Chain A
Amino acid sequence: MQLAVNIVVLSAIYALIACGYVLIYRVSRVLNLAHGELMMLGAYLLVATASSFGGNPVLAIAAAVVLSLVVGGLVYVLLMRKMTGEMALAAVLATVALGVLLRGVMVLIWSAQQRYPGQDLGLPNMALALPGGARISIFAALLVLATALSYAGLFAFLRFGDWGIRMRAAGQNPLLAAQRGINLHAIYALAWGLSTLTGSIAGMLIALDSGLTNTMVIIGLKAFPAALVGGLDSLLGALVGALVIATAEVFSIQYIDPLLSDVVPFLVLIAMLIVRPWGLFGTREELDRV
């Protein structure tokens, strides 16, 4: 039973992070390899707001969430916008460089020590007992809830929201979308903002649950196979991919070797790339759009 809970929590983490990869890829065909760093930045933003709004956790979290949206938009406006028209690969490398830059800046500002924003905010992390003898911490439960809400929100937004429909249009055919009067730059900035937002929520909740160090980047990177296994341009795929990766990881920790946990997602990724490179739910023709 505990195993099932672990799988659900881990796949919720991966799914919440992976939808950031999917959003950006789907809209602008850019693979954001700085997603792990952006997610960590979101968590650090919570540390920052926690010290200014220490007495009011809700306000602190809300401020951090809004800030992360702004940060994501700024990343597009200041950096990725300059890479439009370049090879897709140059854009990917720019995100890699951004990741390295962010990692340095974050250590400069917040030092490399482990932080506990939960304590700063005065939020205790209790364990809830579930039926079947399993336990789950409050923040892990919140994470599962946040993932469910984020996905529901994103599905609704992309399906019914004006901006969501514009976003899908921009992803399908940027030229036509632009000719229909859609402001591509605004769409891309919004996609980057939303992607950073969801990633940051994941980062914040993980930080609240188990503290914040710079190993969080690795979690971000491990969520990437989840996005690709499901298909880089499919939200539903990211959800399924996260489940696959999390299951494989939890089982290998349980039954084979805990050291494997950092590799298993990538092994699954390689297997997927060999068998079905476009992922479970991805669109096949994407493959040649390099």
Chain B
Amino acid sequence: MSDRMPRASGYFRTDYAQEIALIKTRLERVNLVVFLALLIAFPFFASAFYLDLATQVFLAAIGSLSLMLLTGFAGQVSLGHAGLLAAGAFTAGILSKEFGASIFVALPCAAAIGALLGIVFGLPSLRLRGLYLAVSTLALHFVVVYLGGEYETKRGFSTGITIDAPVVAGLRLYGGKVWYFILLAFAAMSLLICANLLRSRSGRAWRAIRAHETVASALGIDVAAYKLLAFIISSAMAALAGALFAYYRGFVSVEAFSLFLSIQYVAMIIIGGMGSLLGALLGAAFVTLLPYLIEAVMQRLPNAQAYADVLFAVNYAAFGLVMIGFLIVEPQGLSGIWRRVQNYFLLWPFKQKAIAGGRK
């Protein structure tokens, strides 16, 4: 954030409200409207396959935004994000399967369970830091997934729980377009929630905690409370994403929430770039689309059938390579690249580099 160039040609701010405004210039407003119009028009032109891809990106975006809030801004590492998604998905699945609850009950319940788990995941953070905290969330991931698996086998849903399409006001929520708009709305809302949290008191507190806990508490920030708050909000959002995933797929199974999913979410925020909401979105899109991109490339290769069964292995390998590449070569992630491209055009025709030291 620190090396962001001013976009307007001059500094016209006269009060603090302008300083934290979400939309600062007219160009930004125009861009936003155009982008939104494109997103809304997209399902009317895209095929079912691309629609599904976009929907998956939105789902991943909710999860990665929540993890970015926790890790990228509050500095609390979580390697157990898939556990939270699983908790949300299972809450939704159990409520609708066993109690016939409507989606309006199931989603808030999933978020509430997520918030509760957030406290459980967050409590170790009051004592542990860094590595040890990451390990404790990793362990909790296994516990949550085990509970889900236990429920599946004990209740006889050993292959997974199927969920009927939810009915809202007499309409069945079914089909690609409907879910595209639902998840677009949820993703947009998550983005707005994160942006608002970050530009207010809580966001400043989290940044201070991330920078230095002792200094943060010396500044009068209640470190424990704000850490827990970060965990609660992040976990509630992740659980909500899990519940939406369950409804969208119509199916919950514990296999979907492996450790690899947690790693994927961590990869999203690394690839996107730590400490940037834009990065969370870019990372979610990148990680979601990468397997499909690889599949498309491999189908172009001669003798494509021969590679069909090694596809998932290629995915794994490519995914690992990309993650390592970003960690070593571009720790700022995609959002860092995006910012550099922007700066290039802002400064054009001059080829001035950002002042050294601006990049942390």
Contact = CB atoms under 8 A, between A and B. Distances in A.
Given A270-B140, A274-B124, A89 B313 contact: no
Interface stretch (A52-60, A91-99, A168-176): A91-99
Interface in B107-132: 124, 127-132
Contacts of B260: 100
A63 B51 CA distance: 52
B173 interface: no
Contact of A104 (B77, B313, B327): B313
Contacts of B318: 104
B174 interface: no
Contacts of A103: 313, 316, 320
B324 interface: yes
Interface stretch (B30-38, B142-150, B195-203, B340-348): B142-150
A241 interface: no
A163 interface: no
A86 B266 CA distance: 17
Given A92-B134, A96-B263, A104-B320, A273 B128 contact: yes
B324 A79 contact: yes
Interface in B281-331: 310, 312-321, 323-324, 327-328, 331
Interface residues of A, number: 42
Contacts of A79: 324, 328
Interface in B235-274: 259-260, 263, 266-267, 270
Interface stretch (A130-138, A188-196, A258-266): A258-266
Contact of B314 (A90, A99, A108, A228): A108
B153 interface: yes
B135 A88 contact: no
Nearest to B123: A274
A230 interface: no
Contacts of A107: 310, 312-313, 316
Contacts of A82: 328
Range class of the B interface residue count: 35 or more
A90 B331 contact: yes
Grouping DSSP codes into helix (H, G, I), strand (E, B) and loop, the A interface class, with mixed when no group exceeds half, is helix
B324 A97 contact: yes
A20 interface: no
Contacts of B127: 274, 277
A14 to B, nearest CB: 15
B48 to A, nearest CB: 29
Nearest to A274: B124
B55 interface: no
A269 interface: yes
Given A104-B320, A108-B317, A259-B146, A277 B134 contact: no
A146 interface: no
A112 B259 CA distance: 19
B1 interface: no
B139 interface: yes
A262 B134 CA distance: 19
Interface in A244-290: 259-260, 262-263, 266-267, 269-270, 273-274, 277, 287-288, 290
B324 A94 contact: yes
Contacts of A93: 266, 270, 323, 327
A281 to B, nearest CB: 16
A275 to B, nearest CB: 10
Interface in B191-216: none
A45 B134 CA distance: 31
Nearest to B267: A97
Given A31-B131, A107-B316, A270 B136 contact: yes
Contacts of A274: 124, 127
Contact of A266 (B130, B139, B267, B331): B139
Nearest to B77: A89
5 contacts: A88-B131, A100-B263, A103-B316, A269-B135, A273-B124
Interface of A: 31, 79, 82-83, 86, 88-90, 92-94, 96-105, 107-108, 112, 221, 224-225, 228, 259-260, 262-263, 266-267, 269-270, 273-274, 277, 287-288, 290
